[in-house]
Structure 1
């Protein structure tokens, strides 16, 4: 089954892991020795290249399903045996997709789909599987923790990263090589996206996870992907050249490797999605003009009002880095010790740049700059014909009905058992049990296990009353620290750690952090940085990432009766003492005060139009701050000493960002004031020209009307409204306030509502009475709102959705949600467009 050079690489890599982890892998080796030869090699392959966190978090039995099912596919399916070996190993056999929790699922999924795909070609199998996936899972936004494919399937919904993890696992279960691809941050809007690629007929093809189409290489994200500066995939088994694969492998497998994130090799897929791709070359020199080798260079775009990395590449022996990227703006940053360099580059004009490390990370006052995204391209793939579209829509409608029933019926059985058991407890325990459930996130409620709930409740109740109840519930009873998998560990820590050590940590919580830093080593070259090692596993294996160690501190502290948390802004561990939270690391105390001043505090939204980043020569960390705390046009932020970048950003509808930034050094104990500054944009700069996807709506009498006809004559305003909801009411109230100006344009305003119930809302009734020339149509929001919003690069989940058109199907301005002054802006655009 495995070629000879693969056997040698697997064996050598596995032995290195065994030598490093020692007795930790003894139970694994005992199981491997019981397996048939091919399954044994498959298991060694997984353990040789899985993150150490996977080794720590899960027993070897977790991986038996992946191994046995993967070997079975190879033995039973000729098309699997014919795959290039690298494709089979990494994209059929391997258990991990990205950063999800790992739970056995492959044989289960295959059992669910095998009859549906029997006798079908690989291409037909892919399309059929995605229809099945759509009937099982639909999109819903959620927090950053990535559920296992099994949990996503059980509850029936997930965000795009979870949908793609689920779809990849189902595809791999059928022997279809599949991977998740990712736009780490869009250049044209504040978000990101993940989807799926499959290996069919010797090439990679893309599809939207749980978003079936009758053909491959279709998806709502096509336009957005063509505007990305970078799109990447990942490998967990290292660089391809290290495997020495046969040179006769398809050219399509020889992808551009763009460095690594820990143990993960990143591969650049931008050329599959965008036109005008540039080959960028960066040369890094030291102060004396000498090339600097093995230095990480961060390539960044502005997203959520801050520089966000899309790639980190190391310089070669000549001090150079090469990267394929879109035609737009990039921020480049590199640093070492107390020296750093940064530059903004427009790759449409320049493909080469030299960065020279400076002696210090410099302060500078407000500087303005633009970040320009690439232009989009018309999709190049073959489009479905009318019959295919109609059949696909029919199938999808039936599947979505089934999925919705499944989702509504889902209840977490473990949570229900816990609730019933609590009824037999004392009044105090019942109250704390309710508090425990209430503090869990919405996602945790759907997959938390019974043993987790019982362990955290009983382990925390030992210390009830030792701190104020609000602090006890949020920072001692709470099972959630960060985005880690929830596990039972309180009673285990209370038993495993000697009582005298627990007492010492309670008396001096800083000593617990000192102990963790001394005892728990970091092995970044063996980790996926976004996968956390659970607390007890981190303690047992004595190894974990920096984030995992911070989670371990809070978990152990809470287990020993110390209220603790991770600081919301920077993720550093803190403990409660003398009525306040204090840094567990005495070298990271927040003894500086930054006072921000703003003339209109209500207009500033963190991560929307401003951000604050702590900068060192080796790291840029965007802080997580809240909008609360403004008093008399000032906001105080407590920070540790260091260098900070304050950025303000205005995202124009065409995707360009008008930004400004200043950089300053806070010395220990310093108190500094800074005035927030924003850039103003003129009207012409915000106008765009985007083709509106054609759709049909209904008049009140049921007659159909095409968007092409509705927008065919001059300028129009299209508004998708959710009557009775606050954002919609804001725009309607603004129209009433500007009644005289809007009266002249009423006949060119088109309202789209989802049902006749909108007429029953008093405000909607009033607006139509004041503007009788406004035309109202009925629309299928489920289909048209997402397609229109995505094409216009606005958030379709935030109604009202607004588009100003000039000519047939041509949109010059779009927005979603509500911002103060929208009505006035629309009027100005109409006057400009007429």
Structure 2
């Protein structure tokens, strides 16, 4: 990253901001808090001043006492990755921008110092790549909101966000706010990061809130809270509504079991704290959205115990809270009124699993009655909180808001139309001597970042034409949205293969040429690391790897607590800082080996660091460098019996190894069909949990857990046993005159451009072939003929698409069936030839396509 290129325009714009009329405010922090912040800053300074001297040199610059205090606050509590990867000037400029924003708007003087410190000053929202969005956003937003009260300003900022970004699913790396603008879309985590950055850029306190997992569907969601008129109020990020506290997720959040947000710094507020650390606090905001209850758990025994409160989602029990308690102490959670699984274990190898219904209990006593190695099965039904209807909001301005949404969609579409086209591509292809059809997928996917990819291609043909396209092939699609030409050129120019390495080009491209290792932001590390390790053995792979590991063990200190946002530290940042978390250490090792020309990777299932020397070899970073390899076994996954739908990994089943006191799910590809697994897969020997889940139409899950030993050198077959719902389906309503197909059929009303509609089709695509082969009669209704083409594109031959412009058909259906008073798209029903309705869903529901198919097939047999 060229920080000078970032800081120069940032400084110029900062001068402009500081010249704007200032409202003035006199906020102060208590003397006690000031002393705590000063103490924590001094601890950080003493710990890291020798590792990164340039980071602290910014304090030698001229600044006011208030600027220095805020800068010390950031330094005292910033995560380790930011210390390693960004210069001090970046943080000082963010301090000045936050102060200028507070002084530029009428609401600035009403924001308390405590709220400002935690929810305006911080430059980071979650795990995004950082950039200079704060100054860019302020410049655009100031004229639009300078004369508005804070509530209207927050709504207006969200309209601006919608002009720039809308929802589309993407991979798990969180792109920077300016990268989101270039892309013009993002997943909910990116939309909410983008919107919080925009709010803070104009001095509106804001935070990202999210449910880490829903209880009733396999998904999660993130949105935004803003501090308006003395309280936190919510909005859907980049999804403007006419008022605050209104969003499409109003109904599903009533069934949530946990809602998180993070407070940067040492939190002294009054909100419920899930996890309080020196540098941050994780807050539980669930009480703002859904009924809650306090649950207390005590373990019988004399040892310290690790406890996880697990929520079923994505074929695992995700720990919505983890806690280590001493003997005789209680573990505690405030959660929603559904089922959770309590898992408890101690260091002696004893553990227990207990499913509890939060509505029925408040205190639970558990005996650790199982031991690692015990083979047994456990089945139960996991029930989410009951479905509830949100309070109706009679929002003034709904029609005007819809009109604005349409206008904002057009603004974004106009921007997208400026992206690279084939006419420009012809000129580029001719200039660099490459085939236009070969180049088109990359220039098209680059979206608003096309100038960087074009520059890379123009310079790259002069550097290493042979590996130009292979490099673009191996990076992630999202990388094309925000990577710079300089980063790609570093990896192209300095690519090499270690002397004596023999492997095919696919392995070379994926595990040497490829700069991407996991979900880190791409950085130019190859030339730097080649120079840093130029004394490494040049012709013996094993010896070279050992020398790298010995260097890491001797120079890199592991700090697991300070990198609390889990953002991977860049390889150059690790080298310079000499401190990182253990996962960033793995990435540093892999980056170093790739730079030296040795294939290296994270093992796909366990994420252990590996290098290739005729076979993949695990690396352990112990001081002795034993290089001991784990004992392995082979397993085969097999369906226990016919199931309506082919089991998918992390949807219907998963496998987890017991390690470090807990079961850790193996990282096979999400939604990977059972039939796509190899005949046999090699895994580490050990103690495993094979878990399956069958989610039913009400959100409940039929869970089955098998606990098995996988012996070293063994070959074992693991049966994927999915418990089925054997209850006969009953009609829930009747509409004699309604069925349009005179047969059992599925009907759906959908807006494909909305986030719930987008979610449906994203799920539907994995089952589209199954629907088509089963010849399921499916009729889709849309509210506008312009939506038809998109629906047809996402469905299969035989589907019918009709227009129901004012939802007249749907309203008539509801009038006759009384299934709902309010319309929340998408709506789906399964109805037979007698007009008897057996299934109805409305609004946001992940997995609806699977439920529809299962209901349809069961009714055929019934």
Partners of 2:217 and 2:47 in 1: CA distance: 44
Partners of 1:54 and 1:750 in 2: CA distance: 48
Q: Which moved more, 1:495-504 or 1:163-172?
A: 495-504
Shift of 1:590: 5.3
2:639 is the counterpart of 1:591: no
Counterpart of 2:282 in structure 1 is 266
Q: Of 349, 357, 366, which residue of structure 2 is paired with 1:355?
A: 366
Q: Of 456, 472, 487, which residue of structure 2 is paired with 1:418?
A: 456
2:20 is the counterpart of 1:27: no
Counterpart of 2:830 in structure 1 is 804
Counterpart of 1:343 in structure 2 is 354
Q: Give the direction of change, closer, same or farther, for the CA distance of 1:433–1:29 in structure 2 (3 Å limit).
A: same
The answer on whether the counterparts of 2:105 and 2:146 sit within 8 Å (CA) in structure 1 is: no
Partners of 1:440 and 1:687 in 2: CA distance: 50
Partners of 1:362 and 1:416 in 2: CA distance: 57
Shift of 1:500: 3.4
Q: Of 482, 487, 508, which residue of structure 2 is paired with 1:472?
A: 508
Counterpart of 1:568 in structure 2 is 604
Q: Which moved more, 1:623-632 or 1:401-410?
A: 623-632
Counterpart of 2:40 in structure 1 is 13
Counterpart of 1:53 in structure 2 is 81
SS of aligned partner of 1:494? helix
Shift of 1:526: 1.3
Shift of 1:492: 0.7
Q: Which moved more, 1:375-384 or 1:397-406?
A: 375-384
Q: Of 309, 317, 321, which residue of structure 2 is paired with 1:311?
A: 321
Q: Give the direction of change, closer, same or farther, for the CA distance of 1:780–1:503 in structure 2 (3 Å limit).
A: farther
Within a 5 Å distance, the mapping from 1:212-231 to structure 2 comes to 212-231=240-259
Partners of 1:399 and 1:79 in 2: CA distance: 27
Counterpart of 1:701 in structure 2 is none
Shift of 1:437: 0.8
SS of aligned partner of 2:495? helix
Partners of 1:572 and 1:273 in 2: CA distance: 39
Shift of 1:803: 2.4
The answer on whether the counterparts of 1:260 and 1:312 sit within 8 Å (CA) in structure 2 is: no
SS of aligned partner of 1:218? coil
2:713 is the counterpart of 1:675: no
Q: Of 61, 64, 68, which residue of structure 2 is paired with 1:40?
A: 68
Counterpart of 1:125 in structure 2 is 153
Partners of 2:676 and 2:739 in 1: CA distance: 47
The answer on whether the counterparts of 2:541 and 2:613 sit within 8 Å (CA) in structure 1 is: no
Shift of 1:719: 3.2
Shift of 1:194: 0.6
Partners of 1:194 and 1:763 in 2: CA distance: 26
Counterpart of 1:622 in structure 2 is 665
Q: Give the direction of change, closer, same or farther, for the CA distance of 1:638–1:33 in structure 2 (3 Å limit).
A: same
Unaligned runs of 5+ in 2: 1-26, 420-447, 621-626, 753-760
Shift of 1:754: 6.2
Shift of 1:106: 1.3
Within a 5 Å distance, the mapping from 1:426-437 to structure 2 comes to 429-437=464-472
Counterpart of 1:398 in structure 2 is 407
Counterpart of 1:109 in structure 2 is 137
Partners of 1:676 and 1:584 in 2: CA distance: 32
The answer on whether the counterparts of 1:372 and 1:656 sit within 8 Å (CA) in structure 2 is: yes
Partners of 1:672 and 1:760 in 2: CA distance: 44
The answer on whether the counterparts of 2:199 and 2:205 sit within 8 Å (CA) in structure 1 is: yes
Unaligned runs of 5+ in 1: 241-252, 690-706, 737-741, 769-773
Counterpart of 1:324 in structure 2 is 334
Partners of 1:472 and 1:210 in 2: CA distance: 41
2:543 is the counterpart of 1:507: yes
Deviations 1:407-465, CA, capped at 9 Å, x for gaps: 3432332211011123445xxx2231111011111100111112211111122135598
Within a 5 Å distance, the mapping from 1:121-520 to structure 2 comes to 121-240=149-268, 254-260=270-276, 263-275=279-291, 277-286=292-301, 290=302, 295-315=305-325, 318-337=328-347, 338-357=349-368, 360-380=371-391, 382-385=393-396, 388-408=397-417, 409=419, 410-425=448-463, 429-461=464-496, 463=498, 466-500=502-536, 507-510=543-546, 512-513=548-549, 515-520=551-556
Shift of 1:98: 1.0
Q: Give the direction of change, closer, same or farther, for the CA distance of 1:727–1:604 in structure 2 (3 Å limit).
A: closer
Shift of 1:228: 1.1
SS of aligned partner of 2:390? coil
Q: Which moved more, 1:346-355 or 1:625-634?
A: 625-634
Q: Give the direction of change, closer, same or farther, for the CA distance of 1:126–1:642 in structure 2 (3 Å limit).
A: same
Partners of 1:726 and 1:583 in 2: CA distance: 34
RMSD: 4.0
Q: Give the direction of change, closer, same or farther, for the CA distance of 1:239–1:339 in structure 2 (3 Å limit).
A: farther
Q: Of 637, 640, 652, which residue of structure 2 is paired with 1:609?
A: 652
Partners of 2:106 and 2:411 in 1: CA distance: 34
Q: Give the direction of change, closer, same or farther, for the CA distance of 1:610–1:359 in structure 2 (3 Å limit).
A: closer
Q: Of 658, 675, 683, which residue of structure 1 is paired with 2:702?
A: 658
Counterpart of 1:245 in structure 2 is none
Shift of 1:85: 2.0
Counterpart of 1:644 in structure 2 is 688
Partners of 2:649 and 2:64 in 1: CA distance: 56
Shift of 1:818: 9.3
Shift of 1:557: 0.7
Q: Give the direction of change, closer, same or farther, for the CA distance of 1:341–1:105 in structure 2 (3 Å limit).
A: same
Partners of 2:293 and 2:83 in 1: CA distance: 40
Q: Give the direction of change, closer, same or farther, for the CA distance of 1:729–1:491 in structure 2 (3 Å limit).
A: closer
Counterpart of 1:826 in structure 2 is 856
Partners of 1:189 and 1:534 in 2: CA distance: 35
Counterpart of 2:442 in structure 1 is none
Q: Give the direction of change, closer, same or farther, for the CA distance of 1:664–1:116 in structure 2 (3 Å limit).
A: same
Partners of 1:717 and 1:529 in 2: CA distance: 44
Aligned residue-pair number = 765
Partners of 2:738 and 2:748 in 1: CA distance: 13
Shift of 1:355: 2.7
2:579 is the counterpart of 1:543: yes
Tell me the TM-score normalized by structure 2: 0.80
Partners of 2:550 and 2:335 in 1: CA distance: 43
Deviations 1:288-321, CA, capped at 9 Å, x for gaps: xx4x56x542111111111111122343785112
Shift of 1:43: 1.0
Shift of 1:186: 0.8
Q: Give the direction of change, closer, same or farther, for the CA distance of 1:24–1:828 in structure 2 (3 Å limit).
A: closer
Partners of 1:611 and 1:90 in 2: CA distance: 38
Tell me the TM-score normalized by structure 1: 0.83
The answer on whether the counterparts of 2:646 and 2:673 sit within 8 Å (CA) in structure 1 is: no
Partners of 1:377 and 1:549 in 2: CA distance: 46
The answer on whether the counterparts of 1:215 and 1:383 sit within 8 Å (CA) in structure 2 is: no
Shift of 1:830: 9.5
Q: Which moved more, 1:435-444 or 1:455-464?
A: 455-464
The answer on whether the counterparts of 2:634 and 2:682 sit within 8 Å (CA) in structure 1 is: yes
Partners of 1:209 and 1:174 in 2: CA distance: 16
Q: Give the direction of change, closer, same or farther, for the CA distance of 1:665–1:708 in structure 2 (3 Å limit).
A: same
The answer on whether the counterparts of 2:649 and 2:673 sit within 8 Å (CA) in structure 1 is: no
Q: Which moved more, 1:308-317 or 1:329-338?
A: 308-317
Partners of 1:10 and 1:759 in 2: CA distance: 54
Q: Which moved more, 1:316-325 or 1:810-819?
A: 810-819
Q: Give the direction of change, closer, same or farther, for the CA distance of 1:541–1:434 in structure 2 (3 Å limit).
A: same
Partners of 1:12 and 1:82 in 2: CA distance: 28
The answer on whether the counterparts of 1:340 and 1:357 sit within 8 Å (CA) in structure 2 is: yes
Q: Give the direction of change, closer, same or farther, for the CA distance of 1:710–1:560 in structure 2 (3 Å limit).
A: same
SS of aligned partner of 1:384? coil
